[in-house]
Every structure is written in C-alpha cells, then in structure tokens.
Homo-oligomer: A and B are copies of this chain.
Amino acid sequence: MQQSYTIRELAKEFGITARTMRHYEQIGLLAPGRRGQSRIYSAADRTRLRLILRGKRLGLGLEESRAIIAMYDPDHGNEQQLLRLVERIREQRAALRERLRDLQAMLAELDAVEAGCLASLAQPRAVPASTSIARRRANR
C-alpha cells in the first residue's frame, strides 16, 4: 500500500503548521523522505508526529518527547540499558500521574467557575462586588 503524505496534509490533519513540522525535522525529531525538494512523510513518520504532539499536549518539551519515543523503540540492546529504561519509565509515569491529578482538579474548578457565571447571569443584581468570583475564591 505504501501510504505517504505531503507536509500540508499532515499539518492539516493534526492542526499544526508546516513550519512546525520543518522545525521538528531541523532538530532531528522527524526524518521524512524527499521527492525532489518536497518532503514525503511515511506512515511511520506520521506515527512519530502523533507521539510528539501528544507529548506537547501533556506539557512535555520536545527533548522529553524524544526520550519517551526512544523508549518505544525495542532495539535498545543490552540488559543494563533496559534496566535504566524501566527506571526512567517509572519516573515518567509518576510525573504523569501527578499531572493527571492536576487535570482532574482543574476540571472541577472550571465546573465551579461556570456555575458562578451562570448564577450571575440568572440574577444580575443579586451579586454585589463582595461576592464576585475573584473575591469569593480569594481565601483559597
């Protein structure tokens, strides 16, 4: 089947710019083929891009994503390296779990802020300044 993509196709699919993809190539995160001067991306390139963007959504830097993607690669030879890999995976997982808790807390906060807004809208004059969202939440 040999599925391949242009830079514009992948950029559109993932909602990023072509410049972003060229940037990832410049720092060695992607390595698409060429047809003349134009880049052609394989299904494997597309997968790597997807992993990079997921890392970004999670707030990882590009170098952190590079490290995590490297973990997915099984050609990581010897026993010592594998053991170090397992250790790094455990560290990453602990950090990600913390983010998970942050996220869940934030979703709950947004629910509360929205409810406050809707209450304000329902009774515009019943909400004096001293009970504004900023003030009500000021004491933690």
Contacts and interface: CB of A to CB of B under 8 A. Distances in A.
Contact of A97 (B82, B96, B107): B107
A82 B43 contact: no
Interface residues on A, range: 35 or more
- A interface secondary structure, majority: helix
Contacts of A132: 72-74, 77
A109 to B, nearest CB: 7
A82 B116 CA distance: 10
A138 B106 contact: no
B47 A137 contact: yes
5 contacts: A55-B106, A57-B98, A58-B110, A99-B103, A100-B104
